[in-house]
Amino acid sequence: MLAVDYVVQALARSGAARPDLLATAQGELLSELNRLVEAAFVDAAQANAPYFSARTTVPYNVLLSPAGWAFPVDAVRVFRAEATALTTGLGVGFGDGDEITLVPQHDRYLGLEAPAVAVLGRVLIPTGATGHPTGGDLEVSYARRPVAMAGLASAIDASWPAEHDELLIVQLAHYLAVKDFRGEDAATFERAAGQMFARFAAAVGLPVPAQASRSPRPTGARLQTE
């Protein structure tokens, strides 16, 4: 769906909503919708990294401190790395397409026989062990952030499952109700959002929703008009 479709449906959930906001608060509504989508992608990344994922080749960067392979800019977490034809330092019997084990930075001296790199923040760094990658390119698979919607005419990220559209609609409806001081509507939408989030959590493998609705609790003034 387009961003405007989510906003229109959220506004339509209550007769007390303000449809004028579609014209006067586009920026805020779009920003909130993007925030909700990103929160869902990040939640999914923690439980089921391949759910919203991508693959790309990353080069060894000597300008980083420490030097290593930087995460892609849209990565939430890297969950797999593979050697390429350009990877250097590999031992005999390892080469293009072989998995490179990811280990915590503090465990990089464990003496793993299989090639490995250490995860330090948003960088993969050499372990320093013989036969482990020392440079060149790595192919990484990673849980990613969504492509942000630039305007109300923009479509949601193509990977978003349509069966969970209702989650975003009721979350946005809850946001509107809270910002407009409609307490009864806010309570209704918060319950509905909790139910929808539980379904999403089950789909991506989250064991227990830590915050069922993922809805905001703003306490300030009404929506600012543009």
pLDDT averages per 10-residue partition of the chain, 226 residues: 96 84 84 98 96 98 97 98 97 94 79 86 94 97 98 97 98 94 94 95 79 48 43
To the question of pTM greater than 0.85 for the whole model, the response is yes
**Cα 10 from Cα 12, distance rounded (Å):** 5
- Choose one of 101, 127, 144: the last residue of a domain: 144
Determine the pLDDT at residue 213: 46
Residue 37 and residue 55 in one domain? no
* CA angle in degrees (0–180, nearest 5) for 141-48-80: 25
Residue 33 and residue 106 in one domain? no
Q: Does 140 map to a domain?
A: yes
Q: Which amino acid is at 182?
A: R
Residue 127 and residue 176 in one domain? no
Phi, psi torsion values for 63, nearest 5 degrees: -85, -10
Residue 196 and residue 171 in one domain? yes
Residue 112 and residue 63 in one domain? yes
Q: Does 226 map to a domain?
A: no
Residue 76 and residue 14 in one domain? no
Determine the pLDDT at residue 219: 40
Place of tokens 């509504």: 29
Number of domains the chain is built from:
2
* Residues 188-218 as b or e (16 or more Cβ within 10 Å = b): bbbebbbebbbebbeebebeebeebbbbeee
Residue 94 and residue 34 in one domain? no
Q: Does 76 map to a domain?
A: yes
Beta bridge mates, 143: 53, 77
Determine the pLDDT at residue 18: 80
Q: Does 169 map to a domain?
A: yes
Q: Does 215 map to a domain?
A: no
Determine the pLDDT at residue 214: 53
Residue 159, domain extent: 3-48+151-204
